[in-house]
Structure 1
Amino acid sequence: MDKLLKFMGFIGDLKRVKRTGWVLRRIEDPESVADHMYRMALLSFLVEPTSGLNKDRCIKISLVHDLAECIVGDLTPQDDFSKSEKQKQEMEAMKHICSLVSEEVGQELYELWEDYEFQKSEEAKFVKDLDKFEMILQAHEYENLSNSPGRLQEFFDSTKGKFKTVQIKDWVEKLNTKRCSSGGS
Protein backbone atom coordinates (compact mmCIF):
# COMPACT_ATOMS: atom_id res chain seq x y z
CA MET A 1 0.00 0.00 0.00
CA ASP A 2 2.93 2.37 0.66
CA LYS A 3 4.00 2.13 -3.00
CA LEU A 4 0.47 2.81 -4.18
CA LEU A 5 0.17 5.87 -1.94
CA LYS A 6 3.51 7.12 -3.24
CA PHE A 7 2.20 6.71 -6.81
CA MET A 8 -0.95 8.64 -5.86
CA GLY A 9 1.25 11.34 -4.33
CA PHE A 10 3.22 11.70 -7.55
CA ILE A 11 -0.03 12.15 -9.45
CA GLY A 12 -1.03 14.83 -6.93
CA ASP A 13 2.32 16.55 -7.45
CA LEU A 14 1.37 17.13 -11.10
CA LYS A 15 -1.35 19.50 -9.86
CA ARG A 16 1.36 21.68 -8.32
CA VAL A 17 3.98 21.57 -11.11
CA LYS A 18 3.34 24.77 -13.06
CA ARG A 19 4.01 24.76 -16.80
CA THR A 20 7.42 26.37 -17.17
CA GLY A 21 6.70 28.30 -20.37
CA TRP A 22 3.93 30.25 -18.66
CA VAL A 23 5.95 30.81 -15.49
CA LEU A 24 8.84 32.25 -17.55
CA ARG A 25 6.38 34.62 -19.30
CA ARG A 26 5.05 35.73 -15.90
CA ILE A 27 1.52 34.50 -16.54
CA GLU A 28 -0.61 35.11 -13.49
CA ASP A 29 -1.84 31.80 -12.05
CA PRO A 30 -0.35 29.55 -14.78
CA GLU A 31 -1.79 26.14 -15.52
CA SER A 32 -0.29 23.03 -13.97
CA VAL A 33 0.94 19.97 -15.83
CA ALA A 34 -2.19 18.16 -14.59
CA ASP A 35 -4.40 20.94 -16.02
CA HIS A 36 -2.67 20.54 -19.38
CA MET A 37 -2.94 16.74 -19.40
CA TYR A 38 -6.59 16.84 -18.35
CA ARG A 39 -7.62 19.15 -21.20
CA MET A 40 -5.62 17.05 -23.66
CA ALA A 41 -7.46 13.94 -22.48
CA LEU A 42 -10.83 15.62 -22.95
CA LEU A 43 -9.81 16.96 -26.36
CA SER A 44 -8.89 13.39 -27.28
CA PHE A 45 -12.58 12.54 -26.98
CA LEU A 46 -13.01 14.65 -30.13
CA VAL A 47 -10.98 12.30 -32.33
CA GLU A 48 -12.97 12.01 -35.54
CA PRO A 49 -14.42 8.52 -35.99
CA THR A 50 -13.30 8.53 -39.63
CA SER A 51 -9.64 9.11 -38.63
CA GLY A 52 -9.05 5.43 -37.91
CA LEU A 53 -7.48 6.37 -34.58
CA ASN A 54 -8.21 4.52 -31.35
CA LYS A 55 -9.84 7.25 -29.24
CA ASP A 56 -9.30 5.39 -25.95
CA ARG A 57 -5.58 5.04 -26.70
CA CYS A 58 -5.36 8.78 -27.49
CA ILE A 59 -7.02 9.57 -24.16
CA LYS A 60 -4.63 7.27 -22.29
CA ILE A 61 -1.53 8.67 -24.03
CA SER A 62 -2.73 12.20 -23.18
CA LEU A 63 -3.05 11.22 -19.53
CA VAL A 64 0.47 9.80 -19.26
CA HIS A 65 2.57 11.77 -21.77
CA ASP A 66 3.90 14.22 -19.12
CA LEU A 67 3.72 11.88 -16.12
CA ALA A 68 7.50 11.93 -15.58
CA GLU A 69 7.29 15.66 -14.89
CA CYS A 70 6.10 14.94 -11.36
CA ILE A 71 9.74 13.94 -10.71
CA VAL A 72 11.87 15.81 -13.28
CA GLY A 73 9.75 18.95 -13.58
CA ASP A 74 8.56 20.64 -16.76
CA LEU A 75 11.80 20.90 -18.71
CA THR A 76 11.74 23.22 -21.70
CA PRO A 77 14.13 23.97 -24.56
CA GLN A 78 15.41 26.93 -22.48
CA ASP A 79 16.66 24.54 -19.78
CA ASP A 80 20.29 23.47 -19.96
CA PHE A 81 19.51 19.86 -20.94
CA SER A 82 20.12 18.08 -24.22
CA LYS A 83 17.16 16.24 -25.69
CA SER A 84 18.87 12.93 -24.90
CA GLU A 85 19.55 13.94 -21.26
CA LYS A 86 15.93 15.06 -20.83
CA GLN A 87 14.74 11.78 -22.34
CA LYS A 88 17.07 9.78 -20.07
CA GLN A 89 15.84 11.56 -16.93
CA GLU A 90 12.20 11.11 -17.94
CA MET A 91 12.77 7.43 -18.75
CA GLU A 92 14.28 6.84 -15.31
CA ALA A 93 11.40 8.73 -13.68
CA MET A 94 8.84 6.69 -15.61
CA LYS A 95 10.49 3.41 -14.62
CA HIS A 96 10.35 4.49 -10.98
CA ILE A 97 6.72 5.63 -11.21
CA CYS A 98 5.71 2.43 -12.97
CA SER A 99 7.41 0.31 -10.28
CA LEU A 100 4.93 1.67 -7.74
CA VAL A 101 1.89 -0.01 -9.29
CA SER A 102 1.09 -3.56 -10.38
CA GLU A 103 3.30 -4.97 -13.10
CA GLU A 104 0.42 -4.97 -15.58
CA VAL A 105 -0.51 -1.33 -14.94
CA GLY A 106 3.14 -0.28 -14.85
CA GLN A 107 3.79 -1.93 -18.21
CA GLU A 108 0.79 -0.20 -19.76
CA LEU A 109 1.76 3.22 -18.39
CA TYR A 110 5.34 2.84 -19.59
CA GLU A 111 4.31 1.54 -23.02
CA LEU A 112 1.92 4.46 -23.51
CA TRP A 113 4.60 6.96 -22.44
CA GLU A 114 7.21 5.32 -24.66
CA ASP A 115 4.81 5.31 -27.62
CA TYR A 116 4.36 9.06 -27.22
CA GLU A 117 8.05 9.72 -26.58
CA PHE A 118 9.18 7.86 -29.70
CA GLN A 119 6.09 8.61 -31.82
CA LYS A 120 5.52 4.93 -32.60
CA SER A 121 1.79 4.96 -33.39
CA GLU A 122 -0.62 7.20 -35.27
CA GLU A 123 -2.32 7.85 -31.93
CA ALA A 124 0.98 9.11 -30.47
CA LYS A 125 1.43 11.41 -33.47
CA PHE A 126 -2.09 12.76 -33.01
CA VAL A 127 -1.44 13.39 -29.30
CA LYS A 128 1.86 15.13 -30.13
CA ASP A 129 -0.08 17.51 -32.39
CA LEU A 130 -2.70 17.85 -29.67
CA ASP A 131 0.06 18.78 -27.17
CA LYS A 132 1.19 21.66 -29.39
CA PHE A 133 -2.40 22.69 -30.12
CA GLU A 134 -3.33 22.76 -26.44
CA MET A 135 -0.31 25.01 -25.81
CA ILE A 136 -1.38 27.60 -28.39
CA LEU A 137 -5.00 27.37 -27.29
CA GLN A 138 -3.82 28.13 -23.76
CA ALA A 139 -1.63 30.99 -25.07
CA HIS A 140 -4.67 32.46 -26.82
CA GLU A 141 -6.69 32.22 -23.61
CA TYR A 142 -3.91 33.91 -21.60
CA GLU A 143 -3.72 36.71 -24.17
CA ASN A 144 -7.48 37.22 -23.85
CA LEU A 145 -7.44 37.06 -20.05
CA SER A 146 -4.70 39.69 -19.83
CA ASN A 147 -6.17 41.77 -22.67
CA SER A 148 -2.82 41.61 -24.46
CA PRO A 149 -3.34 40.34 -28.00
CA GLY A 150 -0.17 39.02 -29.61
CA ARG A 151 1.77 38.93 -26.32
CA LEU A 152 2.44 35.20 -26.64
CA GLN A 153 3.09 35.13 -30.39
CA GLU A 154 6.31 33.16 -29.85
CA PHE A 155 4.25 30.09 -28.90
CA PHE A 156 2.33 30.28 -32.17
CA ASP A 157 5.55 30.86 -34.10
CA SER A 158 7.17 27.81 -32.48
CA THR A 159 4.46 25.53 -33.84
CA LYS A 160 4.06 27.02 -37.31
CA GLY A 161 4.25 24.29 -39.97
CA LYS A 162 4.74 21.53 -37.38
CA PHE A 163 1.23 20.07 -37.27
CA LYS A 164 0.83 16.79 -39.12
CA THR A 165 -2.71 15.55 -38.52
CA VAL A 166 -5.61 16.84 -40.60
CA GLN A 167 -7.99 17.28 -37.68
CA ILE A 168 -5.53 19.30 -35.59
CA LYS A 169 -4.49 21.40 -38.62
CA ASP A 170 -8.17 22.30 -38.98
CA TRP A 171 -8.39 23.28 -35.30
CA VAL A 172 -5.23 25.40 -35.63
CA GLU A 173 -6.67 27.19 -38.64
CA LYS A 174 -9.89 27.93 -36.74
CA LEU A 175 -7.95 29.16 -33.71
CA ASN A 176 -5.74 31.40 -35.84
CA THR A 177 -8.80 32.85 -37.57
CA LYS A 178 -10.44 33.56 -34.22
CA ARG A 179 -7.21 35.02 -32.85
CA CYS A 180 -6.75 37.34 -35.85
CA SER A 181 -10.33 38.56 -35.57
CA SER A 182 -9.78 39.40 -31.90
CA GLY A 183 -6.61 41.44 -32.51
CA GLY A 184 -3.87 38.81 -32.21
CA SER A 185 -1.18 38.29 -34.83
Structure 2
Amino acid sequence: MEDDALILDLQPLPDGIDERLAAQLTFIAEADRLKTVLRASPLAAADRRENDAEHSWHLALMVVLLAEYADAPIDVGHAVKLVVVHDLVEVYAGDSPVYDPQAVLDQQAREEAAADRLFSLLPADQAREIRELWDEFEAGATPEARFGKGIDRLQPMLLNWLAGGGTWSMPGATEARVRAREAGVVAASAALGDAAGLMVDEGVRRGWIRTSEG
Protein backbone atom coordinates (compact mmCIF):
# COMPACT_ATOMS: atom_id res chain seq x y z
CA MET A 1 0.00 0.00 0.00
CA GLU A 2 1.30 3.48 -0.88
CA ASP A 3 2.14 5.64 2.13
CA ASP A 4 -0.63 8.12 1.30
CA ALA A 5 -3.22 5.50 0.31
CA LEU A 6 -6.22 4.83 2.52
CA ILE A 7 -7.33 1.31 3.36
CA LEU A 8 -10.65 1.97 1.65
CA ASP A 9 -8.82 2.95 -1.56
CA LEU A 10 -8.18 -0.77 -2.01
CA GLN A 11 -11.78 -1.78 -1.31
CA PRO A 12 -14.05 1.25 -1.81
CA LEU A 13 -17.39 1.37 -0.06
CA PRO A 14 -20.48 0.59 -2.14
CA ASP A 15 -22.13 3.49 -3.95
CA GLY A 16 -25.10 5.00 -2.19
CA ILE A 17 -23.73 5.18 1.36
CA ASP A 18 -24.46 8.53 3.01
CA GLU A 19 -21.51 10.93 2.73
CA ARG A 20 -21.21 11.51 6.49
CA LEU A 21 -21.34 7.79 7.25
CA ALA A 22 -18.82 7.10 4.50
CA ALA A 23 -16.38 9.55 6.10
CA GLN A 24 -16.86 7.94 9.50
CA LEU A 25 -16.34 4.45 8.07
CA THR A 26 -13.21 5.65 6.27
CA PHE A 27 -11.79 6.87 9.58
CA ILE A 28 -12.77 3.64 11.33
CA ALA A 29 -11.06 1.62 8.60
CA GLU A 30 -7.87 3.64 9.01
CA ALA A 31 -8.05 3.13 12.77
CA ASP A 32 -7.82 -0.61 12.09
CA ARG A 33 -4.13 0.04 11.40
CA LEU A 34 -3.69 0.52 15.15
CA LYS A 35 -3.89 -3.26 15.50
CA THR A 36 -0.66 -3.56 13.50
CA VAL A 37 1.40 -1.02 15.48
CA LEU A 38 3.59 -2.96 17.90
CA ARG A 39 4.65 -1.45 21.19
CA ALA A 40 7.76 -2.39 23.15
CA SER A 41 5.71 -3.69 26.08
CA PRO A 42 5.28 -7.46 26.43
CA LEU A 43 1.95 -9.15 26.93
CA ALA A 44 1.32 -10.87 30.23
CA ALA A 45 -0.62 -13.78 28.73
CA ALA A 46 1.42 -14.56 25.58
CA ASP A 47 5.02 -14.50 24.41
CA ARG A 48 4.73 -11.46 22.15
CA ARG A 49 4.55 -7.67 22.30
CA GLU A 50 1.25 -5.85 22.64
CA ASN A 51 -0.14 -3.74 19.85
CA ASP A 52 -1.56 -0.24 20.17
CA ALA A 53 -5.19 -1.34 19.93
CA GLU A 54 -4.70 -3.80 22.78
CA HIS A 55 -2.97 -1.09 24.79
CA SER A 56 -5.82 1.38 24.25
CA TRP A 57 -8.43 -1.19 25.29
CA HIS A 58 -6.42 -2.05 28.40
CA LEU A 59 -6.19 1.62 29.37
CA ALA A 60 -9.95 2.08 28.95
CA LEU A 61 -10.62 -0.92 31.19
CA MET A 62 -8.18 0.36 33.80
CA VAL A 63 -9.81 3.80 33.84
CA VAL A 64 -13.22 2.20 34.47
CA LEU A 65 -11.93 -0.05 37.24
CA LEU A 66 -9.44 2.29 38.94
CA ALA A 67 -11.25 5.64 38.74
CA GLU A 68 -11.91 5.50 42.48
CA TYR A 69 -8.19 6.09 43.07
CA ALA A 70 -8.03 9.39 41.17
CA ASP A 71 -6.86 12.19 43.46
CA ALA A 72 -9.42 14.56 41.91
CA PRO A 73 -12.97 13.54 40.90
CA ILE A 74 -13.15 12.56 37.23
CA ASP A 75 -15.81 12.01 34.60
CA VAL A 76 -15.08 8.36 33.84
CA GLY A 77 -16.74 8.41 30.42
CA HIS A 78 -14.70 11.41 29.37
CA ALA A 79 -11.48 9.85 30.66
CA VAL A 80 -12.24 6.69 28.67
CA LYS A 81 -12.65 8.79 25.52
CA LEU A 82 -9.26 10.40 26.15
CA VAL A 83 -7.35 7.13 26.52
CA VAL A 84 -9.09 5.56 23.52
CA VAL A 85 -8.21 8.52 21.30
CA HIS A 86 -4.71 9.39 22.50
CA ASP A 87 -2.75 6.74 20.56
CA LEU A 88 -4.79 6.86 17.33
CA VAL A 89 -2.14 9.08 15.73
CA GLU A 90 0.28 6.17 15.88
CA VAL A 91 -1.47 4.60 12.88
CA TYR A 92 0.70 7.02 10.89
CA ALA A 93 3.34 8.17 13.38
CA GLY A 94 4.24 4.75 14.78
CA ASP A 95 5.07 3.96 18.39
CA SER A 96 7.93 5.79 20.12
CA PRO A 97 9.42 3.60 22.88
CA VAL A 98 10.05 5.83 25.88
CA TYR A 99 13.44 4.28 26.67
CA ASP A 100 14.76 4.80 23.11
CA PRO A 101 16.20 8.35 22.97
CA GLN A 102 16.30 8.39 19.16
CA ALA A 103 12.67 7.32 18.83
CA VAL A 104 11.36 10.27 20.83
CA LEU A 105 13.45 13.02 19.20
CA ASP A 106 10.83 14.02 16.61
CA GLN A 107 7.85 12.33 18.27
CA GLN A 108 5.81 15.50 18.77
CA ALA A 109 6.21 16.65 15.16
CA ARG A 110 5.36 13.21 13.77
CA GLU A 111 2.29 12.89 15.94
CA GLU A 112 1.03 16.40 15.17
CA ALA A 113 1.30 15.68 11.44
CA ALA A 114 -0.45 12.33 11.92
CA ALA A 115 -3.27 13.99 13.88
CA ASP A 116 -3.77 16.54 11.10
CA ARG A 117 -3.96 13.79 8.50
CA LEU A 118 -6.04 11.23 10.38
CA PHE A 119 -8.65 13.37 12.10
CA SER A 120 -9.36 15.30 8.89
CA LEU A 121 -10.95 12.14 7.48
CA LEU A 122 -13.92 12.62 9.81
CA PRO A 123 -16.88 14.96 9.28
CA ALA A 124 -15.85 18.45 10.43
CA ASP A 125 -17.73 18.38 13.74
CA GLN A 126 -16.29 15.02 14.76
CA ALA A 127 -12.83 15.93 13.48
CA ARG A 128 -12.91 18.93 15.80
CA GLU A 129 -14.20 16.86 18.75
CA ILE A 130 -11.61 14.10 18.39
CA ARG A 131 -8.78 16.59 17.89
CA GLU A 132 -9.85 18.43 21.04
CA LEU A 133 -9.78 15.16 22.98
CA TRP A 134 -6.31 14.38 21.65
CA ASP A 135 -5.04 17.87 22.47
CA GLU A 136 -6.57 17.66 25.96
CA PHE A 137 -4.78 14.40 26.71
CA GLU A 138 -1.48 15.75 25.39
CA ALA A 139 -1.75 18.91 27.51
CA GLY A 140 -2.61 16.94 30.67
CA ALA A 141 -4.30 19.98 32.19
CA THR A 142 -7.64 18.45 33.23
CA PRO A 143 -8.24 15.87 35.98
CA GLU A 144 -9.35 13.34 33.34
CA ALA A 145 -6.24 13.92 31.22
CA ARG A 146 -3.93 13.67 34.23
CA PHE A 147 -5.57 10.43 35.31
CA GLY A 148 -5.42 9.06 31.77
CA LYS A 149 -1.73 9.90 31.57
CA GLY A 150 -1.15 8.24 34.93
CA ILE A 151 -2.88 5.07 33.75
CA ASP A 152 -0.84 5.22 30.53
CA ARG A 153 2.30 5.11 32.71
CA LEU A 154 1.00 2.44 35.10
CA GLN A 155 -0.14 -0.06 32.45
CA PRO A 156 3.31 -0.77 30.97
CA MET A 157 4.79 -0.90 34.47
CA LEU A 158 2.33 -3.65 35.32
CA LEU A 159 3.19 -5.53 32.12
CA ASN A 160 6.90 -5.16 32.85
CA TRP A 161 6.36 -6.50 36.34
CA LEU A 162 4.42 -9.49 35.03
CA ALA A 163 7.14 -10.19 32.46
CA GLY A 164 9.94 -10.05 35.00
CA GLY A 165 11.45 -6.92 33.51
CA GLY A 166 10.00 -6.32 30.05
CA THR A 167 11.04 -2.94 28.65
CA TRP A 168 12.96 -2.23 31.83
CA SER A 169 15.72 -4.29 30.19
CA MET A 170 16.05 -1.87 27.24
CA PRO A 171 19.43 -0.10 27.03
CA GLY A 172 17.96 3.32 27.86
CA ALA A 173 15.98 2.14 30.88
CA THR A 174 17.72 3.15 34.08
CA GLU A 175 16.23 3.54 37.53
CA ALA A 176 16.16 7.33 37.11
CA ARG A 177 14.19 7.08 33.86
CA VAL A 178 11.82 4.49 35.28
CA ARG A 179 11.28 6.72 38.33
CA ALA A 180 10.45 9.60 35.99
CA ARG A 181 7.70 7.47 34.45
CA GLU A 182 6.52 6.55 37.95
CA ALA A 183 6.13 10.26 38.73
CA GLY A 184 3.41 10.46 36.08
CA VAL A 185 1.37 7.93 38.03
CA VAL A 186 1.93 9.78 41.30
CA ALA A 187 0.72 13.02 39.71
CA ALA A 188 -2.68 11.45 39.05
CA SER A 189 -3.14 9.19 42.06
CA ALA A 190 -1.23 8.85 45.30
CA ALA A 191 -2.57 5.32 45.81
CA LEU A 192 -1.66 4.11 42.32
CA GLY A 193 1.66 5.94 42.60
CA ASP A 194 2.43 4.01 45.78
CA ALA A 195 1.69 0.73 43.98
CA ALA A 196 3.90 1.73 41.04
CA GLY A 197 6.66 2.71 43.45
CA LEU A 198 6.57 -0.68 45.13
CA MET A 199 6.86 -2.43 41.75
CA VAL A 200 9.84 -0.26 40.82
CA ASP A 201 11.49 -0.72 44.22
CA GLU A 202 11.20 -4.50 43.91
CA GLY A 203 12.24 -4.39 40.26
CA VAL A 204 15.46 -2.66 41.30
CA ARG A 205 16.01 -5.14 44.13
CA ARG A 206 15.57 -8.09 41.76
CA GLY A 207 17.95 -6.63 39.19
CA TRP A 208 15.28 -6.02 36.55
CA ILE A 209 16.04 -2.29 36.53
CA ARG A 210 19.60 -0.98 36.27
CA THR A 211 20.57 1.68 38.78
CA SER A 212 22.79 3.45 36.23
CA GLU A 213 23.92 3.41 32.58
CA GLY A 214 26.20 0.61 31.50
Give the match for residue 8 of structure 1: 28
Q: Deviations over 1:117-174 (max 9, x none)?
A: 122212111111111100111112222xxxxxx4654568333251312242143246
| Shift of residue 51, structure 1, vs aligned partner | 3.3
Give the match for residue 54 of structure 2: 35
**2:125 equivalent among 80, 99, 104:** 104
TM-score by length of 2: 0.68
The structure in which a higher percent of residues are helix is 1
Cα contact 1:47–1:55 (8 A) shared by 2: yes
| Shift of residue 112, structure 1, vs aligned partner | 1.1
Is 1:116 matched with 2:137?
yes
Partner amino acid, structure 2, of 1:11:
A
Bigger radius of gyration: 2
Aligned residues: percent identity?
A: 23
Is 1:125 matched with 2:146?
yes
Q: Deviations over 1:44-70 (max 9, x none)?
A: 112118731111121111101111001
**1:172 equivalent among 181, 185, 196:** 196
Q: Which runs of 4+ in 1 moved over 4 A?
A: 173-177
Give the match for residue 61 of structure 1: 82
Consecutive unaligned residues of structure 1, counting only runs of 5 or more, are: 144-149
| Shift of residue 31, structure 1, vs aligned partner | 0.3
Is 1:80 matched with 2:82?
no
**Deviating more after overlay: 48-57 vs 30-39:** 48-57
TM-score by length of 1: 0.77
Paired residues, number: 172
Consecutive unaligned residues of structure 2, counting only runs of 5 or more, are: 1-20, 209-214
